């Protein structure tokens, strides 16, 4: 008993070390980049034309339109709530409080090209750089950078190239990924370390896309195929960056499978339908959402309009991104990403120092307990938290 007691107190400094790493922090800042799925109202401040999301029936579930392309809350709203911070305001709302981050996402955004009345990913990142002094270096390094973009790139490509060769498809995906990589590196260069990616949905299953194809019974092949190619390349890119950039950490959510499962088995996930949108006209309400053609119960639908999710679907996505297991999101969910130490090498060095001190003080205990094995197991645990990306599969 005395030996066990002595052994416990010899471990006490190590336990304190693990509980009080100076590099461990809880992210209290969220930066959002993307398209209409994440737009918290930027479109209404940029466009000279009517922005549908600023009018009813958008926002119908929460009582008012807010510029969000849903009947209520969107994924970044829920993630901010789970993080314990206020909802993140659109960067173009100049009077807003940006103490906990900013939302740069805007409807119709793309990675490539220069569509009107929106901001490409490059322009969003440039806007972030213009405003980065609103936050300290430490705040930017501890923040979560949430990204969902690329849908419009592939929808437009599929529309303009109905029968591309495999080589042409891959070449276009490579263009998108190359630009993504460059912009991620720009954010990293400005202090960003923790990136959360929602991969692309099966784009051929969107009501707007199916309705336009004339076959509402089946998802359109090419847009979904392009999204799948993108998602595979995106994951490869993130693994590559985690090895190339010191301190780069990420979360990768398989949104593609989540939506596909809900479209096919909607009632399993509490929805009445995964085919038709709640609001719109046409055989599956795929276009022209207005107050005249909105459903009575948006919570029974996955899609609010032809391209965007209902509040209920956004809530489910938010929960999965926040706390799901590696079958859905990896190598870390956002809850884990939020508290990961910024520099794992500091942790390993401190563990080695603590173990060395233990060995010097407890030579007798070493004969009874395999300290080296313990050290190896602890080191492997921390390395696993950082490097398990290489074994993570969609």
Calculate ∠ Cα 184-185-188, nearest 5°: 90
CA distance 149 to 131: 21
**Helix residue ranges, H only, the chain:** 2-19, 42-46, 75-83, 121-131, 137-142, 151-160, 166-189, 207-213, 221-244, 255-264, 311-323, 334-339, 344-361, 363-366, 371-387
Cis peptide before 57 (omega within 30 of 0): yes
For residue 90, the cross-strand partners are: 103
Contact (CB, 8 A) for 203 and 227: yes
308 catalytic? Reply is yes
φ, ψ dihedrals at 22, nearest 5°: -65, -20
Q: Active site residue: 7, 230, 308, 352, which one?
A: 308
CA distance 267 to 276: 14
Q: What is the residue-wise DSSP string for 119-141? A: --HHHHHHHHHHHGGGS-HHHHH
* 47 C-beta neighbours (distance < 10 Å), count: 16
Return the DSSP state at 252.
E
CA distances, 262 to each of 68, 73, 138, 316, 347 (Å): 22, 19, 39, 11, 41
Calculate ∠ Cα 78-205-175, nearest 5°: 85
CA distance 333 to 213: 36
φ, ψ dihedrals at 76, nearest 5°: -60, -30
CA distance 121 to 149: 8
249: region left, alpha or beta (phi > 0 left; psi from -120 to 50 alpha): beta
Catalytic residues, by residue number, are 308
């Amino acid at each position: 008993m005395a030996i066990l007691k002595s052994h416990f107190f010899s471990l006490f400094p190590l336990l304190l070390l693990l509980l009080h790493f100076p590099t461990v922090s809880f992210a209290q800042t969220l930066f959002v980049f993307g398209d209409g799925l994440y737009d918290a109202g930027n479109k209404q401040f940029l466009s000279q034309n009517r922005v549908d999301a600023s009018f009813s029936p958008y926002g119908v579930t929460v009582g008012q339109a807010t510029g969000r392309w849903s009947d209520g809350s969107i994924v970044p709203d829920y993630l901010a709530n789970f993080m314990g911070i206020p909802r993140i305001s659109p960067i173009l709302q100049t009077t807003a409080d940006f103490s906990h981050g900013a939302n740069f996402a805007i409807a119709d955004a793309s990675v490539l090209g220069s569509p009107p009345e929106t901001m490409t990913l490059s322009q969003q990142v440039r806007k972030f750089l213009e405003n980065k002094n609103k936050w300290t270096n430490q705040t930017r390094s501890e923040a979560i950078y949430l990204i969902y973009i690329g849908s419009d790139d592939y929808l437009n490509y599929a529309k303009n190239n109905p029968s591309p060769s495999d080589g042409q498809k891959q070449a276009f995906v490579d263009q998108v990924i190359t630009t993504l990589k460059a912009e991620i590196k720009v954010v990293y260069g400005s202090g960003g370390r923790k990136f959360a990616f929602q991969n692309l949905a099966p784009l051929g299953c969107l009501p707007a896309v199916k309705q336009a194809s004339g076959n509402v019974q089946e998802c359109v092949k090419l847009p979904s195929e392009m999204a799948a190619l993108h998602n595979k390349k995106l994951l490869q890119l993130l693994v590559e960056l985690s090895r190339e950039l010191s301190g780069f950490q990420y979360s990768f959510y398989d949104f593609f499978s989540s939506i596909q499962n809900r479209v096919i088995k909607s009632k399993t996930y509490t929805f009445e339908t995964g085919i038709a949108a709640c609001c719109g006209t046409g055989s599956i309400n795929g276009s022209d959402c207005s107050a005249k053609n909105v459903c009575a119960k948006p919570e029974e639908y996955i899609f609010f309009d032809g391209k965007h999710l209902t509040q209920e679907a956004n809530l489910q996505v938010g929960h999965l991104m926040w706390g799901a297991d590696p079958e859905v999101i990896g190598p870390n969910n956002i809850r884990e990403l939020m508290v990961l130490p910024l520099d794992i090498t500091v942790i390993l060095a401190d563990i080695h120092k603590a173990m060395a001190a233990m060995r010097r003080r407890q030579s007798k205990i070493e004969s009874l307990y395999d300290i080296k094995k313990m050290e190896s197991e602890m080191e492997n645990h921390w390395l696993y938290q950082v490097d398990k990306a290489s074994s993570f599969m969609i």
